[in-house]
Amino acid sequence: MSNSKRYTFGLALALLSATAAAELPQSSILTRYGVTSDQLPKPAEIETTKPAKPVEEKSRFQVQPEQPWVTVRLGDGKQPEKTGNISIDRSMQQERERCQRMQERLMLKGGQSFSCDNNILGTH
């Protein structure tokens, strides 16, 4: 933006501000409604001789200890449930065996184990 455009923009902004300020009333809002400051209510007096006791508020939230993000456990050796469908049962058995092999490899490498029992992790 060139200097002349900045100057023009600044001048236009100043002119708009001056116009808006001229439209504001010069008198206070109290005089416009016919009220004097004596007619306003007095502020409540605060006792300063006694220290105020802190009020204990009951929490709206139940605070509980932080739960771990993931609960990991080894399967308890149960076989998957039989559905009666040979292809589904065989597929579930193969998946369980594959999972157990991966668990064993991971344990040998020193990593964390995981569950093979078709439960969602973290809900145990």
Q: How confident is the model at residue 49 (pLDDT cuts 50, 70, 90)?
A: low
Residue 111 to residue 96: CA distance in whole angstroms: 19
**What percentage of residues in the chain have a pLDDT greater than 90?**
4
> Which are the contacts of 92, defined by CB distance < 8 A and separation ≥ 6?
80, 83
**What percentage of residues in the chain have a pLDDT greater than 70?**
74
Q: Which of 121, 37, 18 is nearest to 71 (CA)?
A: 121
Q: Which of 78, 59, 86, 90 is nearest to 118 (CA)?
A: 78
- Is the pLDDT confidence value at 123 over 80? no
Residue 87 to residue 68: CA distance in whole angstroms: 37
Query: Whole-model pTM?
Result: 0.32
Q: What is the pLDDT of residues 21-35, one digit of tens each?
A: 777 766 677 777 888
Q: Which of 69, 81, 72, 79 is nearest to 103 (CA)?
A: 72
